[in-house]
Chain A
Amino acid sequence: MIKRVTGEQLLAIGIILIGLVMAWQIGDIPEEAGYAGIGPRFFPSLVVAGLIVAGGALLMQRRHRNGPDTILSDGEDDTEQLEAEEAAERGEANWNMFIIASGSLLAHMALIGLVGFTLAGTFLCFGICRALETRRPALDLVLSFLLAIGLFHLFKALGLNLPALMPGGLL
């Protein structure tokens, strides 16, 4: 029987992959043996081993309603039931909003050097408001701008330099 791969199992695979990438990178650390044989590779090796083992355990974990979680199923296995209950409690995901919020953050990253802190910050704040389904976008746009320009001048006064659109200017 083929079971659908759950999000949690994908996450477990991701953790194992992080471990493997790190294991590959350990080879790049020069092994200057250090005193008493403990060099700069020792701790990373422990962490990598831990990530791979723990990721594997998460991948195979079976959950039980009353007893402790186990790696192997010992008869009673409530994993799927518990997951379904938790999903119901969490409610439906709205991925459009995740994309709007992510897009705003990434656009801000790209824009801040080009159009300065104030405009990039306004755009970001407004984007987050949209992602949280604001019911009064026009007002939020104005308030976002006021917040961004206020912070820009506050921090300019405090000696923290943020990128501006106009050299030494207002925005």
Chain B
Amino acid sequence: MESLNALFSLGFATALTPANLLWALLGCTLGTAIGVLPGVGPAVTVALLLPVTQSVDPTGALIMLAGVYYGAMFGGSTTSILLNTPGEAGSIVSALEGNRMAKAGRAGPALSTAAIGSFVAGSIATVLLTLLAPVLASFALQLGPVETFSLMMLTFAAVSAVLGNSPLRGFIALLLGLAMGLIGIEGQSGQSRFTFGLLPLIDGIDIVVVAMGLFAVGETLYTATYENKIVGRIESLAGSFWMSKSDWKRSWKPWLRGTAIGFPFGTIPAGGTELPTFLSYSAEKKLASPAAQKEFGKGAIEGVAGPEAANNAAVTGTLVPLLTLGIPTSATAAIMLSAFQQYNIVPGPLLFDTNPELVWGLIASLYIGNVMLLVLNLPLVGLWVQFLKVPRPLLYGGIIVLATMGAYALRQSWFDLMLLYIIGVLGFLMRRFDFPVVPLVVGLIVGPMAEKHFRRAMSINEGDLTVFLTHPVSLIILLVTAAILLLPPLLKRRQALLGCTR
């Protein structure tokens, strides 16, 4: 109840000021726009906005960035449904059924169930966040550097082993991120590391340059090299826009199930929205009525409603570890963490005591943002469809100009443009050879934090490495980490063996 009290007395009082409402609206609008545009994701947009938000007060800036993150999930479904090109990773599954529905002239109901489902899931997930976050934060207060370090190891293992097809590739991406995070002055000893005598590297590689390089430059190089021949066709918005009675009846259960799948996945460090959307899709496929089951693959509304709810709930879920533990579990959350750092605010259990207006204002703005997004995405969907008509070459040209500008504006130096290009080529190679980029971004941001906690744990315990196993909470976390690493290959081997004997 205390949290409800804080939400209403502090949170809404902060979020409902005209300035913060405006930031929320700006964030939601921008988020929807970039969600709609194929090729631009929330991570790159949040990174692009980092330098711009430096002069804005932290609460307003974070409200806007959260709106972008959120809005991208709403907007992404529009692109999946109408263009069959997912606007972002969480919308891949909605493209399966949603685009079929659009081809059959049912684009309206598909868009509606996606938007209303996102709203329902986002709202329920925000209630869960409101109730859970303070409890988890007070628990997290008891965690010392030993437990925090173990938690970070769990995050590393989960983002690299669970995402993508190959754990090895995930680990290489993670190691590359950790390596980049080492560059520059090391905080505790003041020694510079891996600067190769180059002065601009002393401050380290900026997350803005990394995000732009990987997501904007890398993506553009890949599209130019491999995807020029692919032409998308926009489905028209003909037919009834509203959901029929049977559409509602078939949608509400998937919305709730999607929320139940998505939220926990967001809170655990398994990174991102792809996994819960896929799980939700296969759950709906199994649970649908026999008549609806026949529609799967041809445009079943359950296959849009569930995954769309799941991806929004997962996004809200990622805010739980970010706000209470200071641990990001997705690329966008990692970049938001660096937004906090930019204001010298450390997200974590103390945040609820040190910056209550900011935390509760941010949480309250999620409720408001959800309503804004429903309005932005349902009645105004026709406006966003116009965005899909921007020719792809010009769209990528614009993204690249913005990315180079973001990198250049950091220090007015060509050196950052050089780094941007080098990281862009790395992003191209990672895309070409199927390496996930999330572990890299998480490694870059969390790596230096992990090192700090490790050295702190060592100095408290006089260099005794066994503390990680003798502290019970740390031991449990490390056992879970080991399970994440060892179970999937063992299960796969067992399956392969069973397949052979059959």
Q: Which residues does A use to contact B, with CB under 8 Å?
A: 7-8, 11, 15, 18, 22, 25, 29-30, 32, 34-40, 42-44, 47, 50-51, 54-55, 57-58, 61, 64, 66-69, 86, 90-91, 93-95, 97-98, 100-102, 105-106, 108-110, 112-113, 117, 121, 124-134, 136, 140, 143-144, 147-148, 151, 155, 158-163
Q: When the two chains form the complex, which single residue of B391, B397, B463, B499 contacts A37, counting CB atoms closer than 8 Å?
A: B463
Determine the chain B residues whose CB is within 8 A of the CB of A95 once the complex forms: 225
> B397 and A126: CB pair below 8 A?
yes
A51–B220 Cα distance when bound, in Å, is 27
What are some 5 contacts across the A-B interface (CB < 8 A)? A67-B493, A68-B488, A94-B225, A106-B421, A128-B220
Question: Which residues of B sit under 8 angstroms from A22, Cβ to Cβ?
Answer: 179, 194
CA distance A168 to B10 in the complex (A): 46
**CB distance B401 to A91 under 8 Å?**
no
**Cβ of A54: which chain B residues have Cβ within 8 Å of it?**
168, 171-172, 175
Minimum distance in angstroms from A165 CB to a CB of chain B: 15
B400 at the interface (CB under 8 A from A): yes
Tell me the B residues contacting A by CB distance below 8 Å: 51-52, 55, 166, 168-169, 171-172, 175-176, 178-179, 182, 186, 188-189, 191, 193-194, 196, 217, 220-221, 223-229, 391-394, 396-398, 400-402, 404-405, 408-409, 412, 414, 417-418, 420-421, 424-425, 428-429, 432-434, 451, 454-455, 458-459, 461-463, 488-489, 492-493, 495-496, 499
Additional 17 contacts, C-beta under 8 A, given A44-B182, A90-B432, A98-B221: A11-B429, A18-B176, A18-B179, A29-B191, A35-B459, A38-B463, A40-B188, A54-B175, A55-B172, A57-B168, A67-B492, A68-B493, A100-B224, A112-B408, A125-B397, A128-B224, A132-B393
Contacts of B433 in A (CB 8 A): 7-8, 11
A34 to chain B: which residues have CB within 8 Å?
188-189, 455
Set of chain B residues within 8 Å of A134, measured between Cβ atoms: 391, 393-394
Q: Bound complex: CA of A48 vs CA of B496, how far in Å?
A: 34
Q: Evaluate contact between A98 and B225: CB separation under 8 angstroms.
A: yes
CB closest residue in chain B, given A67? B496
Q: How far is the CB of A96 from chain B (nearest CB, A)?
A: 9
Contact B168 A112 (CB under 8 A): no
B132 to chain A, nearest CB (A): 33
- B193, B396, B495: the one contacting A29 at CB < 8 Å is B193
Tell whether A58 pairs with B168 under 8 Å between CB atoms, given A105-B217, A125-B397, A134-B394.
yes
A51 and B454 contact, CB distance less than 8 A: no
Given that A36-B462, A102-B421 are known contacts, is A132 also in contact with B182, CB under 8 Å in the complex?
Answer: no
Q: Are A151 and B402 in contact (CB under 8 A)?
A: yes
Which residues in A have their C-beta under 8 angstroms from that of B223?
Answer: 132
Establish whether residues B175 and A163, one from each chain, have CB atoms under 8 Å apart when the complex forms.
no
A124 CB contacts on chain B under 8 angstroms: 397, 400-401, 404
Q: Is the CB of B458 within 8 A of A35?
A: yes
- Complex: chain A residue closest to B187, CB-CB: A40
Closest A residue to B443 by beta carbon equals A47
| Contact present for A147 and B398 (CB under 8 Å) | yes
A93's nearest neighbour on chain B, judged by CB, is B225
C-alpha gap A95/B435 in the complex (Å): 21
Partner of A163, one of B171, B226, B398, B412: B412
Most B Cβ at <10 Å: residue of A110, A131, A136, A158: A131
Given contacts A7-B433, A47-B182, contact A66 B496 (CB under 8 A): yes
Give B461 Cβ to nearest chain A Cβ, in Å: 8
Q: Is the CB of A131 within 8 A of B224?
A: yes
A50 near B397 with CB under 8 A, answer: no
B168, A32: Cβ atoms closer than 8 Å: no
Residues of B contacting A51 in the complex (Cβ-Cβ under 8 angstroms): 172, 175-176, 179
Q: Is the CB of B405 within 8 A of A121?
A: yes
Find out whether the CB atom of B414 lies under 8 angstroms from the CB atom of A109. yes
A161 and B400 CA atoms in complex are apart in Å by 19
**With known contacts A124-B397, A163-B412, A36–B458 Cβ distance under 8 A:** yes
Give the distance in Å from the alpha carbon of A18 to the alpha carbon of B493 in the complex: 32
Which residues on the A side are within 8 Å of B404 (C-beta)? 105, 108, 121, 124
Given A94-B226, A134-B393, the answer on whether A117 and B172 have CB atoms closer than 8 Å is no
Minimal beta-carbon separation of B178 from chain A (angstroms): 5
B37 to chain A, nearest CB (A): 14
A68 and B496 within 8 A (CB):
yes
Complex contacts, A15 vs chain B, CB 8 Å: 172, 176
10 closest residue pairs by CB, A with B: A36-B463, A67-B496, A125-B397, A132-B393, A134-B393, A129-B393, A109-B417, A128-B397, A131-B224, A97-B224
